[in-house]
Structure formats: C-alpha cells, structure tokens
Amino acid sequence: MDQAFWDEQYRQSERRFSGRVNGTLRVEAGGLRPGRALDLGCGEGADAIWLAERGWKVTAVDISAVALERAAAVVGADSGIDWQQGDPRVTPPPGQSFDLVSAQYFPVLREAEHRTLRGLLDTVAPGGTLLVVGHLLDGPPPAEWTGPDPSEFYSPEEIAELLDEDWSIEFNGPRERPEVPEGNPHHKDVVLRARRLR
C-alpha cells in the first residue's frame, strides 16, 4: 500500500469517492471551534475542503500524488489548504500541533511497540480532538475481497485502549453512518472521539 499502489487505485476511475464530506466528520466536528486541523489520508480532499470552508486552517496529507492533484484542482491555489504529499505513518507531522486530527478510514498497521500510531496520536495539541472512524466489520472479508486484510490494522476500539490518562474519551463504539454513498456496503462505522487533556 505504497504511493504506486494508491496512485493506481485513483487512476482506475475519474473520481474514486463521492466528493462529499464524510458524514461522521460533519456530525462530530460541526460544533467544534475552528483551529488547526490535520486530515490524515485526505484523498480527493472533500473533508479538507469542508473544514476549510468552516474556518479551519487545514493540513491535508495523502500518500497519493494523483489524489492530491485532484483535490487541489477542485478549489484552486487560493484555498488556504496545505496539501502535503507523503506518508504520515513514515514521517508524522509535528507533535502537538493540531486542534483536530481526523483519520477517516485511515489504515495504520499494528506494531508490537505501536511506534507509528503513537507518532500520529502525538500530533494532537493539548485540548485538541482526535477523531478516528473505521468500518464496522462483521466477520472476515468476503471471498472475492482482494485487498489487504483489515485485521492487520488498528481499529478505533484498539486505539482507544492505548490512550492513557492524558486523554478523555468522549465516544467510542459503533454508530450508523450519517450518510452512505450509493453502492457502498458499509452502513455502520466504529467511531472514536477523544480529547487530549495535556
């Protein structure tokens, strides 16, 4: 799942995603006071654009150059969004720098020492919000599934278990998706919303 993999995924269609903000981000971040936001795995940019339109100063990171080109083309050069190409799992953004860190279906491989995950968690500033959303998986993937094994990646519940006393968990559990894109089989998600205390 390197840059070449994701670039090819995006090249397979004119648009990979709906172009609309993820419903859970809209619900969970709609009442937050705008500040600095980090959109991990921003794809074609719908979430980053939605945040910027509501006054957030957004850093949007994705491994795919193809996705970022599409995202930037939607809003032009004057959007104020900082589009960054790279893998934040390899080089995490600056620590304690963001008032909102949004990881919508962003895959992070499990590790014994949780080094990569802890680097991403560290990007949340004191008082800031961590929002992690993943699909609710009922059993193993279907036989025709050819992608990576979902069980190899952290779920929002597992991330919640790794948060220490520096965090306050505001929500952690399954939830109906506020909006389901046409043809998408995932109607329920697992949502983690946590606030960093210090």
pTM: 0.90
Instruction: Report which of residues 145 and 70 the model is more confident about.
Output: 70
CA distance 107 to 140: 17
Between CA 36 and CA 39, with CA 38 as vertex, the angle to 5 degrees is 140
Distance from C-alpha of 160 to C-alpha of 173, rounded to nearest angstrom = 10
Q: Which of 70-74, 143-147, 179-183 is most confident?
A: 70-74
Type and span of the H or E element at 116:
helix 115-121
Quick check: 142 pLDDT over 90? no
| 3-state helix vs strand vs coil in the chain, percent to 5 | 25, 30, 45
Cα separation of 26 and 133, whole Å? 12
pLDDT band at 184 (very low <50, low <70, confident <90, very high): low
User: How many whole angstroms separate alpha carbon 10 and alpha carbon 21?
Assistant: 18
pLDDT for 129 equals 98
How far apart CA 125 and CA 116 sit, in angstroms, is 17
- The arrangement of secondary structure in 3-10+22-196, i.e. its CATH architecture, is 3-Layer(aba) Sandwich (3.40)
Closest alpha carbon to 131 in 20, 61, 36, 38 = 38
Check if the beta carbon of residue 35 is closer than 8 Å to that of residue 61: no
The average pLDDT across 145-154 equals 76
pLDDT in tens, 163-182: 999 999 999 999 988 777 66
Q: How far, in Å, CA of 74 to CA of 81, rounded?
A: 12
Residue 33, pLDDT > 90, answer yes
Structure-token pair, residue 180:
């389901």
Q: What is the per-residue pLDDT for 169?
A: 98
More confident residue, 1 or 171: 171
9: confidence class by pLDDT, cuts 50, 70, 90? confident
pLDDT for res 177 = 83
Q: Are 116 and 188 in contact (CB under 8 A)?
A: no
Average pLDDT, the chain: 90
Determine the Cα–Cα distance for residues 37 and 17; give it in Å rounded to an integer.
21
What whole-number distance in Å separates Cα of residue 192 and Cα of residue 130? 8
